[in-house]
Amino acid sequence: MRSGKFDRVYDCIVAIKTGKITIDGKVVSNPNFFFNPKKSLVKFDSEKIRKVPYLYFLMNKPAGYLSQKAESEKTIYDLLGKLNLPKTHAKSLSAVGRLDKESEGLLLITNDGKLSNLVMNPKNKIIKRYYAVLEDIININKTKLLERGIQIEIEHEQYRTKPCRIKVVGEKEVYISISEGKKRQIRKMFDAIDNKVVYLRRVSIAGLQLGKLKAGEVRQTTKEEILEKLEI
């Protein structure tokens, strides 16, 4: 149930386990308790929880901002503040497929969990395209290794990346298209062929384009537009 009352899922679980949530007048202590949000009365600390509407945004994330919520650093949620959304609406939103702090480009932000799962599910093979500037001149033979898949380390374990497409557009510039999105994957892929990404921008998620959005700008969109562009 989208309530916008909690910053993190963990906060909601703690509220449930400490007896602060009631459903139809009864205290619920099981985070997996099933109920019908359309028919049930849910309260947090005796205050009625209201379901917030589905919201969808596209953002051009600037470098220097985290994609996840944090108190001590700048985050994309600071940029959402200019939209003047109700507090509960803003708190319900999450980025779908994060970009690391140094990276720029297209972010999909929503509170629609089902849509998020569709985009993130690797079985759907949604292509994300990035523009990258490298530290050293590109070695074509080594980029072919990346296109076939290469071993990188993810959370202290070896992982072989899925095949990708690379288009060389300059001595140190490429477009790279991948169907997955492991943490810092593109940076690690180029590290694996003895090169380094010095600039990275996501330009598209399937048919969703960064377009003319300037750094830090946000555009509201619809579920219909997203599904049409993703061709799911």
What are the pLDDT digits (tens) for 144-203? 999 999 999 998 899 999 999 999 999 999 999 999 989 999 999 999 999 999 999 999
Tell me if 28 sits within 8 A of 58, measured CB to CB.
no
Catalytic residues: 100
Domains and CATH numbers, the chain: 9-48 (3.10.290.10), 56-122+215-230 (3.30.70.580), 127-205 (3.30.70.1560)
Q: What is the pLDDT of residue 103?
A: 97
Q: What is the pLDDT of residue 4?
A: 59
Q: pTM (2 decimals)?
A: 0.83
- Assess whether pLDDT exceeds 50 at residue 20: yes
Angle at 107 between CA 50 and CA 162, to 5 degrees: 120
Q: Report the distance separating Cα 152 and Cα 173, nearest Å.
A: 21
Q: Report the distance separating Cα 150 and Cα 152, nearest Å.
A: 6
In which band, very low, low, confident or very high, does the pLDDT at 1 lie, cut at 50, 70 and 90? Answer: very low
pLDDT digits (tens, 9 = 90+) for 49-81: 777 899 999 999 999 999 998 888 999 999 998
What's the Cα-to-Cα distance from 69 to each of 25, 72, 91, rounded to whole Å? Answer: 32, 10, 10
Q: Report the distance separating Cα 76 and Cα 101, nearest Å.
A: 10
In terms of Cα–Cα distance, which of 156, 163, 151 is closest to 191? Answer: 151
User: Mean pLDDT for the chain?
Assistant: 91
